[in-house]
Structure 1
Amino acid sequence: MTLAGEALFDATGRFTGFRGSAVVTEAPSGGEQKTGALVDPAFGSLPLSDPQFGRRIDGALRGPLSRIIATAETISGQFDGPIRADYARYAGDIAHAGRHLLGLVDDLADLQNIERPGFKAARDEIDLGDLARRAVGLLGMKAEEKGIRIDAPRTDDRAPATGEFRRVLQVLLNLLGNAIRYSPENSLIWIRVNREGDRAMVTVADQGQGIDAEQQAVVFEKFERLGRTDSGGSGLGLYIARRLARAMDGELTVDSAPGQGARFTLSLPARDA
C-alpha cells in the first residue's frame, strides 16, 4: 500500500488534517503486479459476531468517509480559493454528516467488539477525577458553542479506581457529549467524583429536560436515543457505555425526572491512593 498526501491548514495557519490517497499493489500468483485504487472488501454473509465483520466495516467505510470529510472541509474552509458563501455552508454540512457517519462506524465496530465472547477490559490504575477533566478538555469547545458552562472536578479532586484508561474515557466522553447535546443553551453541567465503600464514582449531571421512568427503563438498550427523534446519535452510545462499565466490574446508572435534568453515574472498583 502506498500512501500520499499533503498537510492542510486553515486561514490562521492551524493544522486541520491531511488530503491524499491510498493505492494498493497486488501480486497475483502469476507474479504480475496489479495497481489500483484501494478496493473495499465484500461483506459476503458474515454474521455480526464474526470478528472479520467489524474489520470489514472499518475497511469499507472509514477510508471513503475520511476522504469525503477532508474534501468537504477543504471546500468549506476555502483553502483552495474563495467560493460562494452558500457553497461553503453546503460543504460544511457535508463534512458534518460525514463525521456523524464516521461516528456510527465507530459505534458499530465497538458493538461488534464488546459482544464478542470473552471480551475483557484492561485493569489499569486510573483516577476518575483526572479522566473527567480530560473529557472536559476534549469537549469544552463544543459546550462553549452553546453557552454551556461545565463545572469540572478540581485538580485536587481524586477518585482512584481500577479500569481500562481509554475505555473509561470513552464512557465519560459519551456521557458528557449527551449532556451537552440535550442541555439547553446557557445552562450548567457539573461533574463530581467521590467514593462510597469499595466503589469509586463519577457523576455527570445536566439541566436538560430529564428522562421519565419509562425512558429510564430502556435508555441503556440498543438504538434508544433518550426519546429524541433528531439525528444526533446512533442510539448505541449508552448501551456500549454500560457494557464497557460492566466489563470493568463496574456499573452505569441514571437518576432523572422530567424537567429536572439527568444524572449519569459510572462506578468502578476503588483502589487505595
Structure 2
Amino acid sequence: DPLVDATGRFTGFRGTALPEAGVSTPAPAPAALSDPAFGSLPLSDPAFGRRIDGALRGPLARIIATAETISGQFDGPIRADYARYAGDIAHAGRHLLGLVDDLADLQNIERPGFKAARDEIDLGDLARRAVGLLGMKAEEKGIRIDAPPTDERMPATGEFRRVLQVLLNLLGNAIRYSPENSLIWIRLDRQGDRAMVTVADQGQGIDAGQQAVVFEKFERLGRTDSGGSGLGLYIARRLARAMEGDLTVDSAPGQGARFTLSLPARDGV
C-alpha cells in the first residue's frame, strides 16, 4: 500500500512479504547498531557495553557540570527558581550516571566466567575507607556513623575494589533510608572460616516480603523514589558470591536493617 503524509506527499509503501512455500528462511541476525560510534556490534557483545558506556558518560558529565555551574551561579546571579531547576537537572544527571555505572557492572558480572581477584584485605580498613568517602553525605542529614576503631582488624580474602564497592553500596543505602539525626553502626565479626562486616541502621526496616526480593534486579528496598537504580544490592550480592562469600539481610519493620557481608577469613595480625 502506498503511504502519503498530511500534505499528500508520497512517503513509501507498507506491506507484508511472505517466503515462498518450501523455501527455508534463515534465522535473523542478532540485533546490531549501525551508528558509527558503535560499528555493527550485537547487543550481547561486551564491546557494545563498553562503547555505549563511553558514549553516555561524556555527555552526562557535561550536562552535570553545566547544570551545577548554573545552580551555583558561578557566572552571575540568576532567579532562584532557575537555580533550583538547574539543581534538579544536575541531580537527575548524577542519577543517570550512576545507572550507567550499574549497567556496566551488571554486564560485567553476568559475563560467563566472571571471577573476582583474591586479594589479602582487611574488612576494618575497608569499612573505615567507606565511612571516609560517605561521611559528608551522612553529616548533611545529621547522621552519626559508628565505624570500627582504627586498631580493629578483620583479615579476609576478596577483591579490594569490589569489597569497597559493596560496602559503599550498603553504607549509601543506610544513609539514604535512615531518618535524620540517627545512628549507623558498622561491626566486624568472625565465625569459623568466615570474616564478616555488618552495616546496621535505624531506618524503617524491611518486612519479610521485601527481604525475599531485595536482592533482585530493580528492587529499591520497597521504595518508589529515584534514590537508586535498583541494581546495587543485586550487584553487591553477585560480587560477594563471586568472592566465595555472601550478602544477607536481617530486619523487621520499625527496627532498622542489618546487612552482613561475609568473606573467607584469613589468619593474620
Give TM-score scaled by structure 2 length: 0.84
RMSD: 13.0
Change (3 A) 1:192 1:136: same
Q: Distance in 1 between matches of 2:73 and 2:13?
A: 15
Structure 1 residue 185: Cα displacement: 0.9
Q: Deviations over 1:112-161 (max 9, x none)?
A: 00000011111111100010011011111111111111111100111011
Contact 2:32 2:42 in 1 (8 A): no
Contact 1:24 1:37 in 2 (8 A): no
Change (3 A) 1:97 1:211: same
Change (3 A) 1:41 1:166: farther
Aligned counterpart in structure 2 of residue 232 of structure 1, from 206, 220, 227: 227
Change (3 A) 1:181 1:101: same
Contact 1:205 1:263 in 2 (8 A): yes
Change (3 A) 1:258 1:24: farther
Change (3 A) 1:206 1:80: same
Structure 1 residue 49: Cα displacement: 3.7
Contact 2:4 2:11 in 1 (8 A): yes
Contact 2:246 2:261 in 1 (8 A): yes
Q: Secondary structure at the match of 1:172?
A: helix
Structure 1 residue 21: Cα displacement: 46
* Structure 2 residues without counterparts, runs of 5 or longer: 18-22
Q: Distance in 1 between matches of 2:224 and 2:154?
A: 36
Identity of matched residues, %: 92
Contact 2:143 2:180 in 1 (8 A): yes
| The 10-residue stretch of structure 1 (245-254 or 12-21) with the greater mean CA deviation from structure 2 | 12-21
Structure 1 residue 261: Cα displacement: 0.6
Structure 1 residue 44: Cα displacement: 7.9
* Structure 1 residues without counterparts, runs of 5 or longer: 1-5, 30-35
Contact 1:9 1:79 in 2 (8 A): no
Structure 1 residue 28: Cα displacement: 31
Structure 1 residue 25: Cα displacement: 42
Structure 1 residue 27: Cα displacement: 36
Structure 1 residue 56: Cα displacement: 2.2
Contact 1:40 1:60 in 2 (8 A): no
Q: Secondary structure at the match of 1:26?
A: coil
Q: Distance in 2 between matches of 1:179 and 1:11?
A: 56
Change (3 A) 1:244 1:112: same
Change (3 A) 1:264 1:47: farther
User: How many residues are aligned here?
Assistant: 262
Q: Distance in 1 between matches of 2:7 and 2:155?
A: 41
Q: Secondary structure at the match of 2:254?
A: coil
Change (3 A) 1:158 1:227: same
Q: Distance in 1 between matches of 2:137 and 2:87?
A: 16
| The 10-residue stretch of structure 1 (207-216 or 85-94) with the greater mean CA deviation from structure 2 | 85-94
Number of the residue aligned with 2:262: 267
| The 10-residue stretch of structure 1 (50-59 or 159-168) with the greater mean CA deviation from structure 2 | 50-59
Structure 1 residue 172: Cα displacement: 0.3
Q: Distance in 1 between matches of 2:240 and 2:136?
A: 26
